[in-house]
A and B are shown apart, each in its own frame.
Chain A
């Protein structure tokens, strides 16, 4: 509970207000309103198809290329509306990083993976790039393992190492928010523990949002938990959003209780 008190005084990094998301005529999200705390881990849980990933991908506009996508309502990042016409989507993606479900290293060396983002954002000096590689690989506890293999292919790493590399690569462009879309689901238990430990560390500096299928994971790492479900129209809705301890110990909504006690989903 200490954590919760510690976090409760913090401000909201992202605010959503009555957000509806449509793919063509299909409504994927209905009336989602939530504030996401700065420098905390917020977990989004719920059964398959409830719109968790769709919601997450709204925050860095990864849904944009999907044909027929339409967003209603407001999503604010530090009080700027990210679906505003004047929003620079590329700059937004730099501020809101993302780690995917499957580790997705690029087909190049570990070093080139790490500097891929920074280089495109204008950092050219070798010394500065070296510094970035060391500093972010250290943050994800990979530096000691990989410092002699920087020129080796990223494909040669274990899945756990690959995922941590992807996290480091995302951090290297200095985002403020990190979105993690079931980022541990392809990992073995040991790697999962490592990544979870890393998340807790990162939450001191970054606002972290995770989508997870594992309620245990949400309970272990997150400060806040959002429970989502499909309504009768198959649109995703936010059922309950509260501090993680409260959701798991004392859920207010009957549906949340059913889900976390394993009665469905």
Chain B
């Protein structure tokens, strides 16, 4: 028997982690250098612009800032911006958009076939894309928060004293990006209209449930995330006022366990759905 006639041993399929990293490698570039990054830049750029204006106004000798006739310092303004821009808008919206896009984009572009014909598990495709999403959003959102903090906090506050709060905020928002991304990745893999469902969840279900006393709020992500924020929730609307009245703060351990569990379960469910679902591409 000549060596040529020996049937070639099939190459061993790459492991889950290796395959995920390959997909991650492929997806990072696609996600970062796309038009949607403009949207992300806008979302995180406006708070920086406002921080610059506040700092500029202060440098030009504008009178101290007041809220309800009470003077506010830099750390308080930073807290307001964390709530108004990042916690209530940027993190859930970026999570919804990117999370639901992980699989839906490939289906829409009809390129999912190419990914699924590679010798990697479908779960690894989803996980690799999820990792790329986490990296892309974090490298845009977290520096923006840091810049806002650097610009605003020195106005009547001390950088050194407030540094632990910055670290807490960064960790909470990073956790928010991860957990919202995981939930919406599952929604994206399962439902036909994932973005709409995600927006209903973020702007309909969560704010509505948080104003009611009782246990229902434990089915929201905001309950676990917002309870950990070191800064006080601002009273910028009637809804916020009611939310403050019924606000409960979960224990740190409870919040961490709940967020980890939600992330793991949602990612597992998403991977399972992607593995079992037959995606029919529109002609």
Is B one of A's binding partners? no
Interface residue ranges, B against A (CB under 8 Å): none
Interface residue ranges, A against B (CB under 8 Å): none
